[in-house]
Every structure is written in C-alpha cells, then in structure tokens.
C-alpha cells in the first residue's frame, strides 16, 4: 500500500515551496478548487471542448470519480502550496489511468496563476517514476497542436516520444523503455515551442 504522506518537496521558479503527496479518495474538494482556478483555455486544452458552463453538481461528481479511481485503476499526485489567503491550496495534480497492463493514459493540471513555474514538469516526471515502478511501458495523452507549453514540457523528457496528428490534436505516446530520440519530425513540429506545462486533470 502506498503512503498518503508527502513524497516530494520542490521549489518553483519563483521560490514557492510545493509539497507532493498521493491523490486520495477524499480529495474531490481540492480537485473542484483546482478546476475553478483554471481558465477557459486551460479547461478546453484538457477536455477538448468548452467546459465553462458545466453544472456544479457534474463538476463534483467528476471530481469524486477521479478521486476514487485511485483506489482501483489509477494513481495520482496532488501538489500543495501555501498561497496568500489560502494555506494548503492544491496547485497542481497529475494522474494516470490504466488502459491495459502495459499502457496508461496521463493527465496533468496546474492552476492558471502558477503556470510556467515548473510545477507541471515536476509532477509529470514524478508520475512517470511511479508508472515505471508499476510496470507500464507506454503513457498516452491527447494534446492540442497549438498548446506550445505542453509540447515544450514533453520535449524535456528523457524518453522517445511518438506523435500521431489528428486534425487540431495529436495523440502522444511516451515510450518509457526507450531513451530519448530527437526524431526529425518531432523537431520540425516542435522546434519553435517555448517552455512549460499545461496538460490538465
């Protein structure tokens, strides 16, 4: 059984101390708060559709589902920090959901007011460590082609990345058993992109 205590601590680029622990079944309120601190653009990047007028009861039910899945087919990380007027705020979250014994789907979220602070990158790298320990060989995600921050974050990883473009989006596969290979078509499509995170919930 995995610990529910803090498993990692790091500082953001601005010096904010972030504490990371496993996501738990009682964390739905934190996930709702994180959703409420995401902009329209960040929500669209995650859900691939507008999520601005979602009823609050649906937001809560989705958050509760995500929180409870960590007891069965998923694993998640929750990053907390003390913000002005909000001690112990959830500033980011990352999780993977098993698709089959060798593959899992990943998602990372960061509060909009803390983008480009290294939180998403730190969470993704830590999540990958746990996915490797669990025996997964591939992590999959869907990313908007225009989401420069996410492409830059993915290109920082020390693994081979595979991209399959489908219209305005791309399916990305992180090959955990293969070292990084700067494949030409990846460089062609991502060379302009500048730093950092934004995959979401």
Distance CA 17, CA 14 (A): 9
pLDDT of residue 5: 85
pLDDT of residue 101: 96
Distance CA 177, CA 77 (A): 22
The answer to whether residue 195 scores a pLDDT higher than 60 is: no
Query: By the 8 A CB rule, do 46 and 56 touch?
Result: no
Query: By the 8 A CB rule, do 16 and 81 touch?
Result: yes
- Backbone φ, ψ for residue 135 (5° rounding): 90, 10
State the pLDDT confidence band at 194, using cuts at 50, 70 and 90. very low
pLDDT digit string (tens) for 103-133?
Answer: 999 999 899 999 999 999 999 999 999 999 9
- Backbone φ, ψ for residue 137 (5° rounding): -105, -20
DSSP helix/strand/coil, 178: strand
Q: Which residue has the higher pLDDT, 44 or 170?
A: 170
pLDDT of residue 201: 30
The answer to whether residue 198 scores a pLDDT higher than 50 is: no
**Lowest-confidence segment of 115-124, 163-172, 183-192 by average pLDDT:** 183-192
Half-sphere exposure of 197 (CA within 13 A, CB side): 29
Q: Give the mean pLDDT of 155-181.
A: 90
The answer to whether residue 3 scores a pLDDT higher than 90 is: no
pLDDT of residue 95: 94
pLDDT digit string (tens) for 73-94?
Answer: 889 999 999 999 999 999 999 9
pLDDT digit string (tens) for 21-78?
Answer: 999 999 999 999 998 888 766 654 554 444 566 777 888 888 898 888 888 888 999 9
The answer to whether residue 196 scores a pLDDT higher than 50 is: no
The answer to whether residue 200 scores a pLDDT higher than 50 is: no
């Amino acid at each position: 059984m995995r610990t529910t205590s803090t498993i990692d601590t790091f500082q953001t680029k601005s010096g904010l101390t972030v504490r990371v622990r496993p996501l738990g079944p009682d964390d739905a309120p934190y996930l709702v708060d994180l959703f409420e601190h995401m902009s329209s653009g960040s929500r669209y990047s995650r859900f691939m559709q507008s999520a601005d007028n979602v009823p609050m009861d649906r937001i809560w039910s989705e958050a509760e589902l995500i929180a409870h899945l960590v007891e069965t087919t998923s694993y998640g990380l929750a990053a907390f920090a003390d913000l002005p007027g909000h001690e112990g705020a959830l500033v980011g979250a990352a999780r993977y959901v098993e698709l089959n014994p060798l593959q899992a789907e990943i998602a990372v979220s960061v509060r909009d007011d803390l983008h480009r602070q290294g939180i998403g990158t730190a969470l993704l790298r830590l999540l990958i460590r746990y996915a490797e320990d669990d025996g997964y060989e591939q992590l999959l995600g869907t990313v908007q082609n225009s989401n420069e921050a996410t492409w830059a974050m993915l290109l920082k990883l020390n693994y081979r990345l595979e991209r399959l473009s489908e219209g305005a989006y791309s399916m990305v596969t992180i090959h955990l058993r293969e070292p990084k290979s700067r494949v030409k078509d990846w460089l062609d499509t991502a060379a302009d992109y500048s730093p950092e995170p934004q995959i979401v919930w």
